[in-house]
Chain A
């Protein structure tokens, strides 16, 4: 377990800013104590200093997880967000997409969101913008990338993809072993 290096921090923040923009500030400067990012076995964890203190006592090979896992660095040093980061992305998300109840299931199985399943979308979403996907009952379901801007979405045919799938909460069941 160690703090992130310069490049790692940049990769992480670039990725995060695609979804929550300048709200990253709120993740680091919190009123309820100091929080930090730590790297452990190529995974990035977000945790409070208090937990960090306790975790330093645990031998490194015996440490499995601490705080919340945000994602991992691939072998090529790219950062990949995991679904476990959703708890922190959803409240701060700038661009949101709501899917209809009929399309919920399909998205939770790892499929892209089609125009027919699109319930609502934040105005002024641009193409390839990171978005958080919600159900109509405002339950966060995952996140993805907008395939089309809001304007273009209006005149798409129903079977066209509007949001590319990146992660969904169905992965808690499908990929439990590789989650962290």
Chain B
């Protein structure tokens, strides 16, 4: 399914930087690589030239054809030649010039200049095509007098030669053969930088040319492509080119093609390359600017880092970190914004089955799921409702923040997933919780008058594609709207179960793991219109602001205070958090004029100005009931959709455990992944510094 699994797309393999240090490997490789004289003559350092010559000698030996044997003889003879003989060789070559190592070592003043000359001449010899690469060895010693000449010579010569150089460069680029020698030299020889710069210039020019050459494939081409299996490499390149054109459309566009054509091609390519459904890619393109779009899709292909939350009811983060480090777990604090989170880089033991885990000292939990609880900010001795609680991570975090005081009602509509809730709550030592199995939409009827409500609504899961890639293909417009409808019902019942008169609370936190506007801003905007609530700042100092306008939709301006989190910017699951404050228990009468976009309908009839929130609210319920009666089919669909909460299967924990088991083998390396693997809200600013991390580790040891 995923791009990663595609066998056709292979990463280029070859000796890396380290492989170079192993003797023998390069010799072997030389046997595999075809001797490519044209490439190597250019900008070889003296050392590299010598090595290349050796290598080639060997590779030539391997060749069986007669030609090569003859060459070998010639070459052997040449190697034996004395300096005098070299001069003869020079006569043969004519105007060729070059430097040996010995000369280069003491001819420092004119070095760079001379080298570039040498290269040019080499390029010339290339164009002749007669010379073997090792021939340049022959010119050593002859250059003593010429250095100054060349150093002082005008640049006209150079300019003359440059096109040739370019041509050879182009040849090289076109020829697919990857030259290992070349890359070696670039690392090895810093004095070459100047000329490399000129090369880069040439490169840049070439790039521009290719960009300008990017043309939209015609209809026939596309048809042909559809018939064949897609060439992912080609598509990837086309996506890159296309985006580059689109970002600077007025200058880079091709005449006669509209932006729409480019966009539709891009959409098709993205859908094919990342294997999304056409609908979802369209949605994503609406949501993200082009510069971010590929980043987002790319980050959906890699898993988020494993994070865990310390259970402060049983232990402290410092102690837990120490205990886990002793078990061979490589971890770090999550970030400045969390006092309990830890990031796990790698582990020699399954992180979901350590005795510490079983003793309830921590909970495996995504970084993003800490955020809504922090936004909820539960206080001690409050009554709190968690409407969709499975698998209990957020619920236990609430209990932890309340220090096991007060009461939490943990509700979920899926009985199977409640097993894990009960297990987790008991394991973590949470004692102030009642676990119930009700439909969230009936809520104020079951129980009301809560101080705070956390609604982690079931959603399409478009923020957690890295966890569940099936979302890519199995969601369409209808699913999204169905989710949105369910969410609207849930948010209304969540608001209705809060007591606005509460001294400490009266807050509702709405969150989803979706990035769709339909499931987030739209739902909150709907709630603002239907109930006496207003948006308040979430208390999270990072994350992106919610949309106040999206395509044809215009939302309440206060939606700025909601927060969005993305995998590519914050390295956590895509997430949306909104915090609402209820300021009156009265339910406004159904507003007829939908276009009144201003204050959330305060033309409420103040019939019952201060009803106790625990009491049922007859008017609102009747409305809901009426609605339900009107659309029985929709209801059925909804109830079917209710259990499909895409946040993770009921055995999410177990899966994690298995994953960590499989990771066990790769621990020998003990390489610490790059900093990018850590969820780091706010980019560089919020990342804990390296020194701090050291301090923590030392503190434990």
Asked if B437 contacts A64 (CB within 8 A), the reply is yes
- Nearest to A170 among chain B residues (CB) is B358
Asked if B427 contacts A169 (CB within 8 A), the reply is yes
Known: A59-B446, A68-B426. A173 touches B435 (CB 8 A): no
Asked if A58 contacts B355 (CB within 8 A), the reply is no
Known: A54-B434, A54-B447, A64-B436. A139 touches B356 (CB 8 A): yes
Distance between B406 CB and nearest chain A CB, rounded to angstroms: 8
Asked if A58 contacts B358 (CB within 8 A), the reply is no
Give chain A interface residues in 16-31, CB to chain B under 8 Å: none
Residues of B within 8 A of A51 (CB): 407, 432-434
- Interface bits A102-125 vs B (CB < 8 Å: 1, else 0): 001000100000000000000000
Known: A58-B438, A58-B447, A84-B426. A173 touches B323 (CB 8 A): no
Bound form: Cα–Cα A172–B424 in Å? 8
Known: A173-B657, A179-B423. A54 touches B409 (CB 8 A): yes
Asked if B423 contacts A176 (CB within 8 A), the reply is yes
28 A-B pairs (CB sep. < 8 Å): A47-B431, A50-B407, A51-B434, A58-B434, A58-B438, A58-B446, A62-B436, A62-B437, A63-B435, A64-B437, A65-B425, A66-B435, A67-B433, A68-B426, A87-B426, A108-B355, A137-B323, A139-B356, A139-B359, A141-B358, A169-B360, A170-B358, A172-B358, A173-B657, A179-B419, A179-B423, A179-B426, A180-B422
Known: A176-B419, A179-B419. A55 touches B434 (CB 8 A): yes
Residues of A within 8 A of B446 (CB): 57-59, 62
Residues of A within 8 A of B433 (CB): 51, 65-67
Among A59, A64, A141, A177, point to the contact of B435 (Cβ < 8 A).
A64
- Does A12 sit within 8 A of B, measured CB to CB? no
Among A62, A139, A177, point to the contact of B438 (Cβ < 8 A).
A62
- Nearest to B409 among chain A residues (CB) is A54
- Nearest to B381 among chain A residues (CB) is A50
Distance between B499 CB and nearest chain A CB, rounded to angstroms: 14
- Does A44 sit within 8 A of B, measured CB to CB? no
Residues of A within 8 A of B427 (CB): 169, 172
Asked if B355 contacts A173 (CB within 8 A), the reply is no
Bound form: Cα–Cα A173–B364 in Å? 13
Bound form: Cα–Cα A173–B409 in Å? 24
- Does B516 sit within 8 A of A, measured CB to CB? no
Q: Which of B323, B409, B426, B427: most chain A CB closer than 10 A?
A: B426
- Does B271 sit within 8 A of A, measured CB to CB? no
- Does A140 sit within 8 A of B, measured CB to CB? yes
- Does B325 sit within 8 A of A, measured CB to CB? no
Number of interface residues of B (CB under 8 A): 35
Distance between B518 CB and nearest chain A CB, rounded to angstroms: 30
- Interface bits B368-400 vs A (CB < 8 Å: 1, else 0): 000000000000000100000000000000000
Residues of A within 8 A of B359 (CB): 139-141, 169
Bound form: Cα–Cα A48–B430 in Å? 13
- Interface bits B525-565 vs A (CB < 8 Å: 1, else 0): 00000000000000000000000000000000000000000
Residues of B within 8 A of A55 (CB): 434
- Does A146 sit within 8 A of B, measured CB to CB? no
Known: A58-B447, A169-B427, A180-B422. A135 touches B436 (CB 8 A): no
Bound form: Cα–Cα A59–B437 in Å? 9
- Nearest to A52 among chain B residues (CB) is B434
Give chain A interface residues in 26-55, CB to chain B under 8 Å: 47-48, 50-51, 54-55
Bound form: Cα–Cα A179–B358 in Å? 14
Among B323, B358, B419, point to the contact of A169 (Cβ < 8 A).
B358
Residues of A within 8 A of B418 (CB): 64
Residues of A within 8 A of B434 (CB): 51, 54-55, 58, 63, 65-67
Asked if B436 contacts A63 (CB within 8 A), the reply is yes
- Does A69 sit within 8 A of B, measured CB to CB? yes
Q: Which of A54, A59, A169: most chain B CB closer than 10 A?
A: A54
Q: Which of A104, A169, A170: most chain B CB closer than 10 A?
A: A169
- Does B353 sit within 8 A of A, measured CB to CB? yes
- Does B420 sit within 8 A of A, measured CB to CB? yes
Bound form: Cα–Cα A169–B358 in Å? 6
- Nearest to B427 among chain A residues (CB) is A172
Known: A58-B438, A69-B426. A104 touches B355 (CB 8 A): yes
Residues of A within 8 A of B323 (CB): 137
- Does B282 sit within 8 A of A, measured CB to CB? no
Bound form: Cα–Cα A173–B651 in Å? 10
- Nearest to B315 among chain A residues (CB) is A139
Distance between B425 CB and nearest chain A CB, rounded to angstroms: 8
Asked if A172 contacts B426 (CB within 8 A), the reply is yes
- Does B213 sit within 8 A of A, measured CB to CB? no
Residues of B within 8 A of A140 (CB): 359
Distance between A149 CB and nearest chain B CB, rounded to angstroms: 27
Bound form: Cα–Cα A173–B415 in Å? 18
Residues of A within 8 A of B407 (CB): 50-51, 54
Give chain B interface residues in 58-91, CB to chain A under 8 Å: none
Asked if A173 contacts B654 (CB within 8 A), the reply is yes
Q: Which of A48, A173, A177: most chain B CB closer than 10 A?
A: A173
- Does B616 sit within 8 A of A, measured CB to CB? no
Asked if A64 contacts B422 (CB within 8 A), the reply is yes
Bound form: Cα–Cα A135–B327 in Å? 14
Bound form: Cα–Cα A57–B421 in Å? 20
Residues of A within 8 A of B31 (CB): none
Asked if A65 contacts B431 (CB within 8 A), the reply is no
Distance between B529 CB and nearest chain A CB, rounded to angstroms: 30
- Does B141 sit within 8 A of A, measured CB to CB? no
Asked if A139 contacts B426 (CB within 8 A), the reply is no
- Does B35 sit within 8 A of A, measured CB to CB? no
Distance between A29 CB and nearest chain B CB, rounded to angstroms: 17
Asked if B432 contacts A177 (CB within 8 A), the reply is no
Q: Which of B355, B421, B429, B657: most chain A CB closer than 10 A?
A: B355
Residues of B within 8 A of A135 (CB): 355
Bound form: Cα–Cα A43–B421 in Å? 17
Bound form: Cα–Cα A98–B113 in Å? 78
Residues of B within 8 A of A54 (CB): 383, 407, 409, 434, 447
- Interface bits B471-500 vs A (CB < 8 Å: 1, else 0): 000000000000000000000000000000
Residues of A within 8 A of B423 (CB): 172, 176, 179
Bound form: Cα–Cα A99–B100 in Å? 73
Residues of A within 8 A of B383 (CB): 54
Taking A58-B446, A176-B423 as known contacts, 16 extra A-B pairs with beta carbons closer than 8 A to each other, sorted by chain A number, are: A54-B383, A58-B438, A59-B438, A62-B436, A63-B435, A64-B415, A64-B418, A64-B421, A64-B435, A65-B422, A108-B355, A135-B355, A141-B358, A141-B359, A169-B360, A179-B423
Asked if A65 contacts B435 (CB within 8 A), the reply is yes
Bound form: Cα–Cα A135–B356 in Å? 10
Asked if A58 contacts B436 (CB within 8 A), the reply is yes
- Nearest to B432 among chain A residues (CB) is A51
Bound form: Cα–Cα A6–B515 in Å? 56
Residues of B within 8 A of A173 (CB): 353, 358, 654, 657
